[in-house]
Chains A and B, each alone.
Chain A
């Protein structure tokens, strides 16, 4: 009797499987019949599109998910952020700059154990009640990428050499790329399963970058609407990879045990990329940006000689654009009077919104002012954030083609862009069939996880508890 009384109650656990960039159109529809484990989770639980942050990009999206704070509050407007108003200062948003509490910080304080694998913005690794392997935002496997440090050798032994990311992403050799992606995913899975089986945990979260890498590298082979679509032996490469993801997810789910709530989430979705808008070429053409010398060849913006005394604005490349204004009293050689700031910003916004494709056909560009989308803006936000063609077009920062539109990316082949909505699937141990749910936001994940583990949700978390 006494023994029975003291027997530890089997406590509820939460497993989060993160697939960076996994698209709802693929998971919930096109590939669903090839993904039996995901299909079962969806049938026995709830699922829906997960609205991402603006910008819909790995950083800040995963950290927004895990802190339940918007990018403005986090002070992360992309992978790199301005530390000051100089022209060349840009700082990588590493873990030391994450000042808000993550779900695992709160769980650690409550005595719950976490295992974290590959969650972006966790390098350098910090203390956690449990263990952590950092993400692709780690310099290399030479770095100290685990907590505790001694975990590193265990990881490398189990995986037979760990991979933080694919090394040759910008290759035309798609066979090599595929091999690397599978290799990376397999290694991460081996480590995940090993840690799940050998360490104590209440919260387990892993993020697999493979879906993002395969979308960017191979979308044109599968999407017939893609400008560069061509029938090839890689037609089913993305589908096959999702099938593989489903298989290994099934393995983790069964290893986690029946008393575990399972979530499968992504930080944003994916869509074909129609082309690129060379933001700085456009700014030059419109008279907002002046160079001392126009380059002879395609040149990254940072290497250009900019005539700052005659420059009103400049832009950053990436899956979305950031436009920065050269303001008097703010930037070192600012030219816009603070009184004219709003006028110039509105003018740029309007012009960017109506900028069409190479034939002048509207593409539906969306332009955001930080104060309209973030209640608080810590750090230094860009003056405008731009989704060219609602993310069907990317932003190209380099200069040298004298063209505003481009169909060759300045950093190598890339077929896909990000979409605003990712995926959310959740099955609780009671398998209550809820079906499709709406209005789910990326910031809802952390409070949902805390609630499932019986830990009070801090008042300052911005998201809601899903399925309460």
Chain B
């Protein structure tokens, strides 16, 4: 990495349940670590267990939970940590609140049709929601308010994970929050040739 000054930021993935927020965030997280950033990931289930055990899924409770997450993200970001949050966070108002509170806030809208999310239904929650067993389930019995001006939109029902990740990384590079891949990785055609020659000599090829 050359001449890159680390700056904290918060990358906030929002979208319907099963839209692919965590899937994309996990790969982005690794890429950021590989590029030398200090990274912290606020995992939905884990932080709920530790910090919001007292909260349910009413609009009020959800907002409170997201505000708590936002507060942690703010503390981390201002200490130069690249902070990733992957939360349904369905309400526009609270996301706008986060944006106003966190200096380097990057909203990633993980867009995916509700039909595809229902097909994925990783934890069987949609099935229960459709059967009326879960109340206030986003996308079924509770609204999801799409972001109006997100910095990044990934469409997981139309793109591969790699394409979505690439979109996120490109925008972070444009925003100068992360070093470009050419700055952080040095692997040339010449390198490739030297290694190929050695592998051939060693009998691997």
Residues of A participating in the B interface, judged by any CB pair closer than 8 Å: 57-58, 78-80, 91-92, 94, 96, 99-101, 105, 108-109, 123-124, 126-127, 136-140, 143-144, 165, 169-170, 213, 216, 316-319, 394, 397, 409, 411-412, 414
Between A and B, 15 residue pairs with Cβ closer than 8 Å are A79-B199, A79-B205, A92-B192, A92-B196, A92-B199, A94-B187, A96-B34, A101-B30, A108-B33, A109-B39, A109-B41, A139-B195, A317-B205, A319-B204, A412-B201
Question: Which residues from chain B contact A318 at a C-beta distance below 8 Å?
Answer: 203-205
Q: Is the CB of B201 within 8 A of A99?
A: no
User: With A101-B30, A127-B36 given, is the CB distance from A411 to B203 under 8 Å?
Assistant: yes
**Which 4 residue pairs spanning A and B have beta carbons closest together?**
A139-B194, A127-B36, A126-B34, A139-B191
A94 to B188, CA, bound (A): 11
Determine if B49 is an interface residue (Cβ-Cβ < 8 Å): no
B16-54: which have CB < 8 Å to A? 27, 30, 33-37, 39, 41
Neighbour of A409 across the interface among B33, B35, B36, B203, CB < 8 A:
B203
Q: Is the CB of B203 within 8 A of A319?
A: yes
Cβ-closest chain A residue relative to B194: A139
Q: Is the CB of B196 within 8 A of A80?
A: yes
**Distance (Å) between the CB of B172 and the closest chain A CB?**
16
User: With A109-B39, A127-B35 given, is the CB distance from A169 to B204 under 8 Å?
Assistant: no
With A139-B190, A318-B205 already in contact, 17 other A-B pairs whose C-beta atoms are closer than 8 Å = A92-B192, A94-B195, A96-B34, A96-B181, A100-B30, A101-B30, A124-B187, A126-B33, A139-B194, A165-B198, A169-B202, A216-B202, A316-B205, A318-B204, A394-B203, A397-B205, A411-B201
Classify the secondary structure of A's interface with B: loop
Neighbour of B33 across the interface among A91, A127, A143, CB < 8 A:
A127
Determine if B186 is an interface residue (Cβ-Cβ < 8 Å): yes
Question: Which residues from chain A contact B190 at a C-beta distance below 8 Å?
Answer: 139
Q: Is the CB of B33 within 8 A of A109?
A: yes
Residues of B participating in the A interface, judged by any CB pair closer than 8 Å: 27, 30, 33-37, 39, 41, 181, 185-187, 190-192, 194-196, 198-205
A367 to B49, CA, bound (A): 48
Neighbour of A105 across the interface among B30, B37, B186, B204, CB < 8 A:
B30
Q: Is the CB of A137 within 8 A of B203?
A: no
Cβ-closest chain A residue relative to B26: A101
Cβ-closest chain B residue relative to A317: B205
User: With A99-B30, A101-B30, A105-B33 given, is the CB distance from A57 to B185 under 8 Å?
Assistant: no
Cβ-closest chain B residue relative to A149: B1
A318 to B192, CA, bound (A): 18
**Distance (Å) between the CB of B66 and the closest chain A CB?**
23
Question: Which residues from chain A contact B181 at a C-beta distance below 8 Å?
Answer: 96
Question: Which residues from chain A contact B194 at a C-beta distance below 8 Å?
Answer: 139-140
Question: Which residues from chain B contact A80 at a C-beta distance below 8 Å?
Answer: 196, 199, 205
A170 to B35, CA, bound (A): 37
Q: Is the CB of B36 within 8 A of A170?
A: no
A100 to B181, CA, bound (A): 17
